[in-house]
């Protein structure tokens, strides 16, 4: 593995495990639960489940968060006839920024590192790469937001998630 990517991954992992300091009246964090259309390079689309956990960095900027994410293929992207479906999972760490547009709508962007581990009937591989995402949230009720997002992962093979789900704010 590339030493620069290794150092970045270790630094990001340390940041994700550090206990964030938040104000008493601000949320402790949030949980993202989404379903994603998985677009893997040169394959037909599959479906994935995605779970994420975020912690606001109120001491830096109230709209800045760190996030950890896990995704798993539920229906692997279909192969072009060479080895069957590709099953995969990914682990990622991100810095995320939330920009409120109205009281109920916010845009979001994020960037970080992702580890992709995939296999099919013939072979398997893993890869560490950069990832970026853009999306939006819409306040549904109480602590629940509707979340829609596109995440682009620069791995080999490239993987994109078009996801929709809920974001639950933890008090």
The per-residue pLDDT for range 128-138, each reduced to its tens digit, is 999 999 999 99
Q: What is the pTM of this model?
A: 0.81
The per-residue pLDDT for range 57-93, each reduced to its tens digit, is 999 999 999 999 999 999 887 765 666 678 899 999 9
Give the number of domains in the chain: 1
What string of DSSP letters covers 100-163?
A: ESSSSEEEEEEEEEEEEEEE-SS-EEEEEEEEEEEEEEEEEETTEEEEEEEEEEESSS-EEEEE
The per-residue pLDDT for range 12-32, each reduced to its tens digit, is 555 544 444 433 456 899 999
Q: What is the CATH number of the domain that holds 14?
A: 2.40.160.20
- Output the pLDDT for position 23: 39
- Output the pLDDT for position 74: 92
């Amino acid at each position: 593995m590339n030493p620069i990517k290794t150092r970045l991954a270790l630094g990001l992992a340390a940041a994700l495990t550090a206990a964030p300091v938040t104000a008493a009246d601000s949320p402790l964090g949030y949980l993202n639960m989404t379903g994603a259309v998985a677009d893997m390079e040169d394959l037909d689309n599959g479906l994935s489940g995605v779970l994420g956990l975020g912690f606001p960095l109120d001491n830096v900027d109230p709209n800045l968060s760190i996030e950890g994410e896990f995704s798993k293929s539920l229906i692997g992207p279909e192969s072009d006839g060479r080895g069957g479906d590709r099953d995969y999972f990914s682990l990622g760490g991100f810095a995320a920024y939330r920009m409120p547009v109205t009281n109920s709508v916010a845009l979001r962007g994020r960037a970080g590192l992702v580890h992709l581990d995939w296999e099919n009937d013939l072979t398997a591989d893993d890869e560490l790469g950069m990832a970026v995402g853009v999306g939006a949230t819409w306040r549904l009720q109480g602590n629940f937001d509707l979340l829609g997002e596109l995440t682009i992962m620069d791995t080999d093979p490239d993987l994109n998630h078009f996801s929709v789900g809920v974001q639950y704010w933890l008090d």
